[in-house]
Amino acid sequence: NQAAKRLAHIADHILAPMSAPSSSRAAKVAVLGASGGIGQPLSMLLKTSPRVGELSLYDVANTPGVAADLGHINTGSSIKGYVGPDQLPEALQGCDLVVIPAGIPRKPGMTRDDLFNINASIVAGLCQAVATHCPQAWVAIISNPVNSTVPIAAEVMKRAGAYDPKKLFGVTTLDVVRAEKFISEINKVDPKDVSVPVIGGHAGITIVPLLSQSQPPLKLSEDELAKLTSRIQNAGTEVVEAKQGAGSATLSMAYAAARFADACLRAQAGEDVVEYAFVQSSVLPNVPFLASKLRLGSQGTVQELGLGPLSSAEQRNIDAMTPELLGSIKKGIEFVEKQG
């Protein structure tokens, strides 16, 4: 029985991704920031996806080398590197999905908000180009601080007349991936059999795991639940500290972004897909952007699926983080307003 389960797992996770997608043409996907710590392994994972027909690697440096290297992988997709703003329009032309990991990462002692001054302009510039050259594309933003960069992207695209809230996403998949992994270790089960909502935003206390909804259920004391919540909230810092100044999570992030990109491409191909992301939201009153469980379809977000039943600790965590999340959203919007 165990052996049969193992075989089913291999079939689901290794063989299925290598088979051709059931419908629709393979997509054109751009990675902006493709030479970076996330960009390179993410591009590699996308190069192995049968849902990707054309991979467009853009950065301000080194993309010809990355594209030449990945181009020798014997999968069906074509790949091309683009360097510098002059080549950005061609990189974006005809894209179905644009994934943005461009920007600087944290060093020990920094918050994600400390990245705002540099990354806000990078994301604004790239989203301006997306609005001009591929306004129909779905946009997945990885660059931190996500709680501000997504509102920045929305505002820039709004001003360019190209904003579709159904197609703009802040990537929070890594929070879900981490929560699934940590719970699988506690419950001693395969992570693929774990599901747990992680909602809110993507920074410190704004990351709110809803452990009471974990499947399989967690049998932990209040104190243990609080410790696990804190570990999920601080998992990014755990990696930043372990890397000792060499950056933040890159490999697990590339994995998480590839999972999110796959969800987008499956939805674009007509599959009914459920995944978490940080989007324009009406789940909580007066909170205009929120990460929560989404139903995705061929035109983008079809439905926010809500938060489900909350424990009193989870409700307190949501109440406690809301002012910080609202502040980060406001900071992003005001950044674009100040540009005039």
For ligand NAD (CB under 6 A), the number of binding residues is 34
Q: What's the closest the beta carbon of residue 203 comes to ligand NAD, in angstroms?
A: 9
Beta carbons of 284 and 290 less than 8 angstroms apart: yes
Identity of the residue, 176 or 273, whose beta carbon is nearer to ligand NAD in the bound complex = 176
Q: Can residue 32 be called a binding residue for ligand NAD (CB under 6 A)?
A: yes
Cβ neighbours of residue 66 under 8 Å, at least 6 residues apart? 34, 35, 39, 40, 43, 57, 59, 81
Q: How far is the CB of 24 from ligand NAD (least distance, A)?
A: 27
Toward ligand NAD, which CB reaches closer, 35 or 214? 35
Are the C-beta atoms of residues 106 and 240 closer than 8 Å to each other? yes
Is residue 328 involved in binding ligand NAD (CB under 6 A)? no
Q: Which is nearer to ligand NAD, 239 or 267 (CB)?
A: 239
249 is a site residue for ligand LMR (CB under 6 A): yes
Q: How far is the CB of 118 from ligand LMR (least distance, A)?
A: 13
**Interface characters, 144-173, with ligand LMR (x: CB under 6 A):** x-----------------------------
Residue 253 near ligand NAD by CB under 6 A: yes
Stretch that binds ligand LMR, among 53-61, 95-103, 191-199, 232-240 (CB under 6 A): 232-240
Of the candidates 214, 248, 322, 328, which one interacts with ligand LMR according to CB under 6 A? Answer: 248
Per CB under 6 A, contacts with ligand NAD among 168-207 are 171, 174, 202
133 catalytic? Reply is no
Site string for ligand LMR, 101-130 (x = CB under 6 A): ----xx-----x------------------
Query: Residue 254, interface with ligand LMR (CB under 6 A)?
Result: no
Restricting to residues 37-96, which ones interact with ligand LMR according to CB under 6 A? none
Count of positions (residues) in the chain: 340
Find the binding residues for ligand NAD in span 84-103 (CB under 6 A): 101-103
Task: State which residue has the least CB distance to ligand NAD.
Answer: 36
Q: What are the backbone angles phi and psi of residue 164, rounded to the nearest 5°?
A: -120, 105
Contact call for residue 177 and ligand LMR (CB under 6 A): no
Q: Locate 247 and state its tokens.
A: 């950056």
Convert the chain into a string of H (helix), E (strand) and C (coil). CHHHHHHHHHHHHHHHHHCCCCCCCCEEEEEECCCCCCHHHHHHHHHCCCCEEEEEEEECCCHHHHHHHHCCCCCCCEEEEEECHHHHHHHHCCCCEEEECCCCCCCCCCCHHHHHHHHHHHHHHHHHHHHHHCCCCEEEECCCCHHHHHHHHHHHHHHCCCCCHHHEEECCHHHHHHHHHHHHHHHCCCHHHCECCEEECCCHHHEEECHHHCECCCCCCHHHHHHHHHHHHCHHHHHHHHCCCCCCCCHHHHHHHHHHHHHHHHHHCCCCEEEEEEEECCCCCCCCEEEEEEEEECCEEEEECCCCCCCHHHHHHHHHHHHHHHHHHHHHHHHHHHHC
- Name which of residues 212 to 231 contact ligand LMR (CB under 6 A): none
The answer to whether 56 contacts ligand NAD (rule: CB under 6 A) is: no
Which residues form the interface with ligand NAD (CB under 6 A)?
A: 32-33, 35-39, 58-61, 101-106, 115, 119, 122, 125-126, 142-144, 146, 171, 174, 202, 247-250, 253
Which residues form the interface with ligand LMR (CB under 6 A)?
A: 105-106, 112, 144, 174, 202, 236-237, 239-240, 248-249
Q: Which residues participate in catalysis according to the annotation?
A: 202
